[in-house]
Structures are given as C-alpha cells and as structure tokens.
Structure 1
C-alpha cells in the first residue's frame, strides 16, 4: 500500500471507528486514477469510484462495497 494512503486509511479508521477491509484498501491502492491521498479525486472522480467497485467485484469482495460507500460518505460528506 502506498505510504500516504496507508496513513490516510489508518487515520480514517481511528476517527470513524471503522476498520478498513484489506480488499478495499488493496483496490483503492491499485487504482492509477487518483494520486495517493488526493481526497478531492477520491470524492469526485467517477472513474476512480467505478474502478474501485469493479476491483471489489473482480476480487470477490462485494461485501466490502458498503464499507467503501460508508467511508466515502464519511470523507466526502
């Protein structure tokens, strides 16, 4: 996982009380659409969001989708 993304996810898990599922973290990390830690891109780039959903589906991690939606809502408001 990219260092700044790891730090971001760790801080978010502490502040929101959520545990970030490994598969979700891996899918966010594997995206090349947004730079690591670019919250604006994470929140507004439909290509990034679709790519993470596709990754979760391809890896059989559909159960992590709601965690991703919850985290996005927490970050983006």
Structure 2
C-alpha cells in the first residue's frame, strides 16, 4: 500500500488545498469528519489527527489478552423470570 503521493496544490475559495488520495488516507487512518492539526515545520507542513484515533478491529484484537478478558460472562443458572 502506497503511503505517499505527489499532489498539486489547487485554489479552493480564498485558500489552497490538496486532496488526499484514498490509499494514503486509509494508511494514515484518516476518515471523513476527522479533526486534524496542520503545523508548519522545517520542510513544509505536517497533518496529523487531533487526540486519540479509533483503533481498527485488527488492532483491538491484537490487544486482546485471553488471560485477562476470557471467561463466561453470563450466569450459569437461570435467574429472574427464567427460574420460575
């Protein structure tokens, strides 16, 4: 998956803009409506998400620890109206 692209800066109203290609946006975990910070640095601009990003399912599963999270969560015998 390509994580870079050569883009052309375009006029958008009184501002300048670039469109982020979908493969680059996916690699950066950028989604529509995401709040980002644009910062000036030594060589240009940096665009990065503000705050914690939402983990993907694969990332959540990689963090799963069976010793900590496994076990039966439901009651083993009937409770409430089931017991009648």
Same fold per superposition (TM over 0.5): no
Q: Which has the higher strand share?
A: 2
Q: Which has the higher helix share?
A: 1
Report which of the two structures shows the higher radius of gyration computed on alpha carbons: 2
TM-score scaled by length of structure 2: 0.22
Q: Which has the higher contact order (CA 8 A, sep 6+)?
A: 1
